[in-house]
Chain A
Amino acid sequence: MEKAEKISFKSGHRARAVFLIFNYIFLSVLMLVMLIPLLKVFVDSIDPTTYGIRLIPKVIDLSAYKQIISSTNLYRPLLVSVFTTVSGTAVGLLLTTLAGYVIIQKKMPGRGIMVTFIFITMLFNGGLIPTYLTIKNLGLMNNFIAIIIPCSLSAYNIILMKSFFETIPSTLYEAASLDGCTPMKTFLKIVLPLSKPALASIGLFIAVGLWNEYMHFILYITDTRWQNFQVKVRDLILNDGISGTSITVSQDMLKNAVVVVVVFPFLMIYPFIQKYFTKGVTIGSVKG
């Protein structure tokens, strides 16, 4: 809209100016509403005296964080989360880019079948119990493969990736193959380097999905030693305590600190990747 229009109280502009002022105030309040629950959790994790409506810490007490670092009970789930997220994102990006690259080969025999093969999984799936029994019968219980592949490979991401690859001019591929590049080499040397924005945004979606994964761990990891951090957070909040740890700090502080630890890694990388994902989402809105 009239981007250049400045706030002014000249007659005729008054209603618009009032609206703009209201708009800025409304959006500011909205941002606060988004941030206060997060801020509150952080403040409560470092100051045991702030419970209630106070948002400014009086004292800074890091004992809850020390407890988390020293308690192996929380250490292991954290490592499990890091491991599944990193390896899953790598596997997911590899499979997604491979699939996307193969199905943009317009003249390849069988391309239609491949696209349909991928597309059907968006419409239909076996459902909870059949999937659970399949994993069980394949002996994949307590195996991270049962989490990494289903959580990192999605038909939607493949279609997204394909749409992005299609924006790369096809003359580039032809030039590469004339220069004697094998398809694999073209893929590694030309397609991937040109696809950084897509890799970043889809990689972020996959990583966030894996970092936040909960249900797959509940279903397929029955050995409690291999549970991830989200499951631990849930246990902690629901059961009102971590079994097996010698509690030296207040439970509430510890709960809050655990939430901070689980959200923090994302908030750290978020500003660096944020610029990419708007593009990623808008590509998705174009018909794939």
Chain B
Amino acid sequence: MANKRKEKSKDKNTVPLRVRIYHYRWFYFMFLPVFISILIFSYLPMFGIVYSFTEYTPFTKVPKFIGLENFKVLFEGKMFWRAFFNTLQISSVNLILSIVCSVGLALLVDEVSQVHFRKITQTIIYIPHFISWVVVAAIFTMVLSPKNGIVNAGIELFGGEPIYFLTSDKWWRPIFFIINRWKETGWGTIIFIAALAGVDMEQYEAARIDGAGHIQRIIYITLPSIAGTILVVFVLNLAKILNLFDSVWVLQNSMTTGVSDVIGTYVYRIGITSADYGLSTAAGLFKSVVSVVLVTMANKASKKIKGEGIL
């Protein structure tokens, strides 16, 4: 940083640094509240990572240094690995479904030439995104209720037995994926619809003259044109793959932890409910490190494929 700065000031050599800083004094003053907020709420907690090398609970009072003991306990625990693999499975299925559904829906919306219908569609499919996970969970608890929910009433109407969707090991994940698609598919289309609007029209004309059918045009022109956007969205979401928490937390219950426990909920349970700060911080640190590695790899991949990174 310092070297770069020196070179820069050489370029502008005439004005000394002190004068330039004085010239921008108001801007530093304006940045101060932002600086303090970020320092307190983002940087101070980073020092707390040392807790992962200590034994620390509200009862031990003072953190006691124990080296890598927490990590040993963590990696030997079955629960942690169950949470880890659940996170990977749930996130990756969710990620793939999300891209496929959003791109597909964006292609369909893009085909709509009727302005009003298109506007109404877009307005309505974006709505669920803005409803909180707590309320989404509340709505679907009622919709899927075996007692008088609309879905089970429908099943019974056709002579079926009511299904306990949210408390069944078998049904929890499929239902989780469906609820996620209900909430986020519409919102996911925004970026692809914008990308589709930017596709070069002349290419379509040329393809048409060459006798390409509609499906062929989608495969050979539309999809390659938005491939860059798809890649960026994919990579960004891949980087967040371990951060699964809110959605699982609100839909989870003690009957389904076997299939639904993820690192986020594991960290919460160990840290807040059982108050084992050391172990929980260790699990959180492991998650962060894997996430940073994923982001870096994703960025490299994006650089290789697209020629530019996402970061």
Contact = CB atoms under 8 A, between A and B. Distances in A.
Interface stretch (B89-97, B167-175, B277-285): B277-285
A235 B195 CA distance: 42
A233 B137 CA distance: 10
Contacts of A11: none
Interface size class of A (residues with CB under 8 A): 35 or more
B134 A233 contact: yes
A132 B112 CA distance: 49
Interface in A248-271: 252, 255-256, 259, 262-263, 266-267, 270-271
A44 B105 CA distance: 30
Contacts of B287: 127
B112 A133 contact: no
Given A126-B45, A128-B267, A219-B272, A133 B30 contact: no
A24 B44 contact: no
Most B CB within 10 A of own CB, among A101, A105, A130, A282:
A130
Interface string B253-283: 0000000000000011001100001001100
Interface in A191-226: 208, 211-215, 219
Nearest to A3: B113
Contacts of B195: 285
B124 A107 contact: no
Interface residues of B, number: 93
A193 B46 CA distance: 37
A190 B280 CA distance: 48
A133 B44 CA distance: 10
B24 A109 contact: yes
Interface in B128-160: 128, 130-135, 137-143, 148, 150, 153-154, 157
Contact of B139 (A30, A37, A107): A37
B27 A102 contact: yes
A109 B20 contact: yes
B218 to A, nearest CB: 9
A9 interface: no
Nearest to A126: B45
Contacts of A31: 120-121, 124-125
A218 to B, nearest CB: 8
Interface string B6-24: 0000001000010011001
A247 interface: no
Interface string A263-288: 10011001100100010011001010
B191 A252 contact: no
A108 B48 contact: no
Interface in B161-198: 182, 186, 190-191, 194-195
A30 B31 contact: no
A270 B127 contact: yes
A214 B133 contact: yes
Contacts of A208: 130
Nearest to B218: A1
Contact of B134 (A52, A108, A234, A271): A234
B59 interface: no
A23 B108 contact: yes
A114 interface: yes
Given A23-B108, A259-B138, A40 B30 contact: no
Given A129-B281, A256-B142, A281 B45 contact: no
A116 to B, nearest CB: 8
A242 interface: no
Interface string B193-213: 011000000001000000000
A131 B45 contact: yes
B153 A99 contact: no
A105 B30 CA distance: 12
B250 interface: yes
Given A34-B186, A102-B27, A230 B134 contact: yes
B42 interface: yes
A90 interface: no
A38 B139 contact: yes
Nearest to B144: A37
A9 B224 CA distance: 30
A255 B137 CA distance: 12
Contacts of A130: 45-49, 51, 281, 284
A30 to B, nearest CB: 7
Contact of A34 (B20, B111, B182, B191): B182
B308 A125 contact: no
Interface of A: 1-5, 15-16, 19-20, 23-24, 26-27, 30-31, 33-38, 40-41, 44, 51-53, 94-95, 98-99, 101-102, 105, 107-110, 112-114, 116-118, 121, 123-134, 138, 149-150, 153, 158, 182-184, 187, 208, 211-215, 219, 230-231, 233-234, 236-237, 252, 255-256, 259, 262-263, 266-267, 270-271, 274, 278, 281-282, 285, 287
Given A27-B109, A34-B125, 12 more contacts: A1-B217, A27-B108, A40-B142, A99-B31, A114-B35, A125-B288, A129-B281, A133-B45, A149-B37, A153-B37, A263-B131, A270-B130
